[in-house]
Structure 1
Amino acid sequence: MLAGTITLFGTILSGCGGGGTVGQPAGQSAGQAAGQSAAAEKNSKPYAGTTLRLVTANHAWTDLIKPKIPEFEQQTGIKVNLESYFEDQLTQKLTVEFTSGSSSVDVFMMRPLQEGKMFIQNGWVGEMTKKDDPDWDFKDFTNASTGSLIQGGKLYGVPIVTEREILYYRKDILEKNNIPVPKTLDELKQAAAKLNDPNNGFYGFVARGQRAAAVTQFSSFLYGMGGDFMKDGKATIDTPEAVSAFKTYGELLKSYGPPGVLNMSWPQAIGIFGQGKAAFYTDADSLYPNLLDPQKSSVGDKTGFALFPAGSKGQTPYNVTSWSLAIQAKSKNQAAAWEFVKWATSKQAMTALQGKGIPGPRQSVWNTDEGKKSFPPELVNVISKSNELGKAYDRPILINVGEARDVIGSVIVTAISGEDVEKAAKQANQQFQAIIDKEKK
């Protein structure tokens, strides 16, 4: 579009001095010149005058994209009305509007692994597969980031925020005890055992132990052992691989974790590590700013970042899209909505946002100085390598994902409590299968 506009204006200016007014070729009336100018404007801004309704979450991404929207409006002539809500409120509001058949929402933020399957299955999300173009470069998005947004070979959203599970560790403690950074889960257990000192309030390992909350962080243990939540519509959390993963996760927290771990989600677990009371901590890389903030952590200058350790079957941390942009299927402004999505997820926009701390899905951005500058160099290396290894989901991809997480989490609780994991896994697998079967009907 821009090249055509430049050519047009070059033609107009080349006619100056030939008897017409400035910017008007000889023999051309003012009305004809005005018509050409209007046509050029229309060609460069084909959706000018369109108003889009953008519905987002109260999130750092929203805070950073909001002041940039006037740039998009000036470039395109499209007006964007932005609304933002807390996560659960957002899901509820969108569900109510979509269920009622409303077409007023054009673009919205969506969590692919939380409400994504329900929204897509209900026909509420527009399909984007045919909307790629060379300048936007869809191939630049990592495979793991787009995996949860592809169903039936079709793309139903564009990733905007990603995260991976990593290993946080105390650099000073490992150095003092001459312990290398663990590369396998067996090495992690050995190191945690050696450093565990509960009598002095120091623990070898900490992570989420709360029933449903622990499932996402357990997933990398499961994948590393060669297991998965389900396969071909069948629950697989009672396989030997899954049982081994449950036991490994449970043993780490039971034997080397702090008291009260069964009540810990990420705020409590990261608090233990941030207070200098644990040697190792596994969780999402997106949480790292909490450990570098001196008001929240006493170990900012002592925290190291490493790839999630390999299990018996390899190194497979989750690498997920926590938020994406989607277009409502019933939007009456499909083309203009796509222009916004394309602009907001362009290399330029994502470089700017990642430069302010939003971990994005474009591999090329991770290779730029701007894209790296807000992240510790060690963490950038871990993220780049995780982008090559990661699995696109950290929980079962189901509509009733909350119910499924609760069932799977019950086995984690059993493992941490030191009870019969095999028995708990078999019972949970039956319950999990019932959830899967219910969604097939």
Structure 2
Amino acid sequence: MKKLQLLQTGWAGLLVVAALAGCSNSNNPDKQPGSAENEAKPGEGIQGRTITFVTGSHPWVDVIKPLIPQFEKETGINVRIQGYFEDQLTQKLTVQFTARSETPDVFMYRPLQEGKLFFQSGWLEPLDAYAGQDAEYDLGDFSPQSIRSSTVDGHLAGIPIVTEQQILYYRKDLLKEAGIEVPATIDELEEAAAKLNHPEQGVYGFVARGQRSPLVTQVSSFLYSEGGDFIKNGKAAINSPEAIKAFETYGGLLRNYGPPNAINMSWPQASAFFAQGKAALYTDANSIYRALDTEESKVRGNVGFAPFPSGTKGSMPYNITSWGLAINPKSPNKEAAWAFIKWASGKSVMLLTQQAGNPGPRSSVWKDPRGTIGFPEQLAAVFRQTVNGGIDHDRPQTVDVAAAREQVGKIVQMVITGETDIRQSADQANAALQALLDEEAE
């Protein structure tokens, strides 16, 4: 197993040690999920068991917490909750798993950010047998993209609970005043941004994430819609003609029609800028809508929602699992942990979490009229249109995601800051990404 070199964060050294320690206990690809060695026997008594549930800071958790006493009453399982901010969660889990701790039993994680590292380090219990053999659970009700987002090396590593797709936000009033139709293509998006760009009036044509790492997820939909991807057939592809076009388009929108400080914006800054009425068009995750619908928002009631505009290959936005639930392979309470996941991601509870504005992966909940009451009507229509389409990842699918994002982000930032020819830089970044892939394959 290769030696992971994660050098992108202040606690990178810890992750290196953690990954190395996990490698010696990594999941055997030949071992069948659900084997006696990996999983508790079905039917073992779970009443009276206590499980530790570690969560991130997310609105989904705010809905689940008040419901847990009912779960405890119905199952006899006691749930001990520990919550952490998102940036602390990975650290906490890494420390626990490196120490081969039996807790937490069940935990929230980000499949596309941590899934590959966690699974290959032996920190995610394969859930194929648990979910696939339970007809009542109805795994087929989950969107294919959400399942693929949560699958590593052919195994279901976690259960999707919150999904995201990239969409277009627009100012209804500004488009109406200018006589502009809602952009349906990326070309139309650029044309509309140019016409609606009035910096002298304090309104820019376009805003989106410009920070190096955060922008990667949002440029991905531009990339896919041009027929590209970060990695194709196992090879880095961020210097392909399709990638160059997508990066130049996204970066050009921010350079030509975005705010001067766009390069410093992640989603909180970009959404706040749009909410302050300072931009006409904004592309980001559909879950961001809540930040635009506050009492402080100056665009409240004037925000429109539309599917991501089409590129050369059509509209191909990312459609991902942003948060999932997983089981610690060292837990002595796997059956109780699965009972909790089955409940928390079941149809009835997912209906409640979705009604509170947390978009989920179950098709039946989206088809239920009650499943969309937590969203503006127009946004719900876009959700229903996009929930079963798009691409199942929004960043390079590597173990060292941070390093891969760095290579993509720096190319786009060159465009934002005025570089006119990024081909040589893209070639260099592609070589660096390929070196990363080769190292991880060793």
Q: Which TM-score tier does this pair reach, normalised by the shorter chain?
A: 0.7 to 0.9
The residue correspondences of 1:243-392 to structure 2 (distance < 5 A) are 243-295=244-296, 297-392=297-392
Instruction: Answer yes or no: is 1:48 the counterpart of 2:47.
Output: yes
> What residue is the counterpart of 1:417 in the other structure?
417
Q: Which moved more, 1:57-66 or 1:167-176?
A: 57-66
3-state DSSP class of the match of 2:82?
strand
TM-score calculated relative to the size of structure 2: 0.88
3-state DSSP class of the match of 1:167?
strand
3-state DSSP class of the match of 1:305?
strand
Query: Distance in 2 between the 1:263 and 1:426 partners?
Result: 25
> What residue is the counterpart of 1:432 in the other structure?
433
Residues 277-336 of structure 1, C-alpha deviation per residue, up to 9 Å, x if partnerless?
2110001111101111121x1001110000000111111101111110001112111111
> What residue is the counterpart of 1:122 in the other structure?
121
> What residue is the counterpart of 2:198 in the other structure?
197
Instruction: Answer yes or no: is 1:184 the counterpart of 2:185.
Output: yes
Q: Cα RMSD between the aligned structures?
A: 1.5
- Larger Cα-atom Rg: 1
AA in 1 matched with 2:437: I
> What residue is the counterpart of 1:95 in the other structure?
94
Q: Is the 8 A contact 1:45 1:77 kept in 2?
A: no
Deviation at 1:401, TM superposition (A): 0.7
Residues 155-183 of structure 1, C-alpha deviation per residue, up to 9 Å, x if partnerless?
11101111111100011111122111111
Query: Distance in 1 between the 2:270 and 2:152 partners?
Result: 34
AA in 1 matched with 2:63: L
AA in 1 matched with 2:254: L
AA in 2 matched with 1:143: P
Instruction: Answer yes or no: is 1:217 the counterpart of 2:221.
Output: no
AA in 2 matched with 1:373: I
> What residue is the counterpart of 2:33 in the other structure?
none
Deviation at 1:219, TM superposition (A): 0.4
3-state DSSP class of the match of 1:101?
coil
> What residue is the counterpart of 1:11 in the other structure?
none
Query: Distance in 1 between the 2:163 and 2:74 partners?
Result: 28
Residues 23-66 of structure 1, C-alpha deviation per residue, up to 9 Å, x if partnerless?
xxxxxxxxxxxxxxxxxxxx999411111111111222222111
3-state DSSP class of the match of 1:410?
helix
Deviation at 1:253, TM superposition (A): 1.1
Query: Distance in 2 between the 1:59 and 1:435 partners?
Result: 32
3-state DSSP class of the match of 1:214?
helix
Unpaired runs of at least 5, structure 1? 1-42
> What residue is the counterpart of 1:7 in the other structure?
none
3-state DSSP class of the match of 1:53?
strand
3-state DSSP class of the match of 1:205?
strand
Deviation at 1:237, TM superposition (A): 0.2
Unpaired runs of at least 5, structure 2? 1-41
Moved >2 Å (runs of 4+): 43-46
The residue correspondences of 1:95-174 to structure 2 (distance < 5 A) are 95-132=94-131, 133-174=134-175
Q: Is the 8 A contact 1:45 1:76 kept in 2?
A: no
Deviation at 1:372, TM superposition (A): 0.7
Q: Percent identity at matched positions? A: 53
Query: Distance in 2 between the 1:211 and 1:55 partners?
Result: 29
Q: Is the 8 A contact 1:315 1:389 kept in 2?
A: no
> What residue is the counterpart of 1:39 in the other structure?
none
AA in 2 matched with 1:101: R
AA in 2 matched with 1:437: D
AA in 2 matched with 1:119: F
Deviation at 1:341, TM superposition (A): 0.7
Q: Is the 8 A contact 1:45 1:75 kept in 2?
A: no
Query: Distance in 2 between the 1:259 and 1:407 partners?
Result: 23
Q: Is the 8 A contact 1:166 1:317 kept in 2?
A: yes
AA in 2 matched with 1:184: T
Q: Is the 8 A contact 1:174 1:181 kept in 2?
A: yes
TM-score calculated relative to the size of structure 1: 0.88
Deviation at 1:411, TM superposition (A): 0.4
Q: 1:44 to 1:104 in 2, by over 3 A?
A: closer
AA in 1 matched with 2:245: S
Query: Distance in 2 between the 1:280 and 1:210 partners?
Result: 18
